[in-house]
Amino acid sequence: MTGRVVVIGNAGLDLALNVPRLPLPGETLIGRDGTRAPGGKGFNQAVVAARCGASVRFCAPLGHDKAQADEVERHLAGEGIAELILPRLPHATDFSLLMVLPNGENSIVSTSACSLALSKADALLALEGVGAGDVVLVQGNLALDTTAFVLDTARREGAMTVFNPAPFWPGAEKLIGRSSLVIANRVEAEQLGGAMGDAKAAIVTLGAEGCVLIEGERRRSFAAERVTAIDTTGCGDAFCGVMAAALARGLTTEVAIAAAQMAAALTATRAGAFAALPSSAQLRTVLSS
C-alpha cells in the first residue's frame, strides 16, 4: 500500500534576479530578468511530491498580509495537494531573494519569521493519523524545537522521517539522529560536520557530480544526469520531493535516488525555482522509468 507524504515547512514568494556575479560589500549591482513566483522549500517539495502522484498533506504558515498570503494559497490550491493546513500568523509572509549567476549556480537569502513561528500544535494537527508507510518531510525553516517535535512524533508513530537541513541553523546537527534519512547538499553537510555520522542514512547531493549515499560505514556514489544547467535553483527541492514520493510508494532508496537525480536534472535546464519544477507528466515518467 502506498503511504502518504506529509510535508511540514514553509511557503512564501520568490523574487529572482540574474546577476553577473555576487555584489561586493557596499556595492549596488544591477540584475536583470526579475521574476516573482510562489516558493519556499516546503512549498516546492510538497508540489513536486504531489506532481509525482503521491497523496500529500502540506502544512505551512502564511502571514497576515492578505494579498501575498492569498497569492501563495491560490497557487497551492491548483496543485492537487490532498490536504492543506495553512495557518495565518501575525507576521509578514516569508519571501526569498534569489541571485542566479551566469553558470546557473545561485545564492539565496530568505526571511523566516513566519515559518519560525509555526507552533507545535499546528504541526501536531498535520501529523494526525500518520503511521507506518507514511513519509514525513521537514526542512530547516522551522524552529529547531518544532522540527525536533515533528521528527520525534512521526518516528514514534512509525512513519519514515526525512530531514533536509536547509537552510542550516546551528543546532540542526542535534536532529540528525532523529531522522530516518538526511538529505543535505555539500555546504550543509560541511556545516553539520561529524553529526552526519549519526544519521541512519544520509544523502549528500553534489550538483553535477551526482550524490553520495552514506549508510554507516558504507558509501555509494551515484552519477548525475548530464545536462546543460541554466539555473540550479530548485534542484534540491525537486530531489527531496521525488525522494519522499518514491519512498512513500515503497521504492528502494537506490531507485528513488535515480528518479530524484533525473528530476533535479530536468529542473536545472530551466530558469527559476517553481517555474522550473518538472510537470506531473514528466515526474510520473521519471518514476516509472
pLDDT tens track for 100-112 = 899 888 888 889 9
User: Measured between alpha carbons, how far apart are the two ends of the chain, in Å?
Assistant: 20
CA dist., res. 263 & res. 278, Å (int): 7
Instruction: Indicate the burial class of 199 (C-beta count within 10 angstroms; 0-12, 13-18, 19 or more).
Output: buried
Sign of CA dihedral 68, 72, 78, 81: negative
Q: Are 56 and 49 in contact (CB under 8 A)?
A: yes
Residue 150 has pLDDT above 90, yes or no: yes
Contacts of 19 (CB under 8 A, 6+ apart): 29, 31, 99, 100, 101
pLDDT tens track for 207-262 = 989 999 999 989 999 998 889 888 888 999 999 999 999 999 999 999 999 999 99
Type of residue found at 71: E
- Going by pLDDT thresholds of 50, 70 and 90, the confidence category of residue 289 is confident
DSSP the chain: ----EEEE---EEEEEEE-SSPPPTT-----EEEEEEEE-HHHHHHHHHHHTT--EEEE--B-S-HHHHHHHHHHHHTTT-SEEE--B-SSPPPEEEEEE-TTS-EEEEE--HHHHT--HHHHHHHTTT--TT-EEEEESSS-HHHHHHHHHHHHHTT-EEEEE--S--TTGGGGGGG-SEEEEEHHHHHHHGGGGGG-SSEEEE-GGG-EEEEETTEEEEEPPPP---S--TTHHHHHHHHHHHHHHTT--HHHHHHHHHHHHHHHHTSSSSGGGSPPHHHHHHHHH-
- Going by pLDDT thresholds of 50, 70 and 90, the confidence category of residue 272 is confident
Size (the chain), residues: 289
Helix axis angle, 235-248 to 280-288, nearest 10°? 60
pTM: 0.93
Task: Answer whether CATH 3.50.50.60 is correct for domain 5-21+32-279.
Answer: no
pLDDT at 232: 87
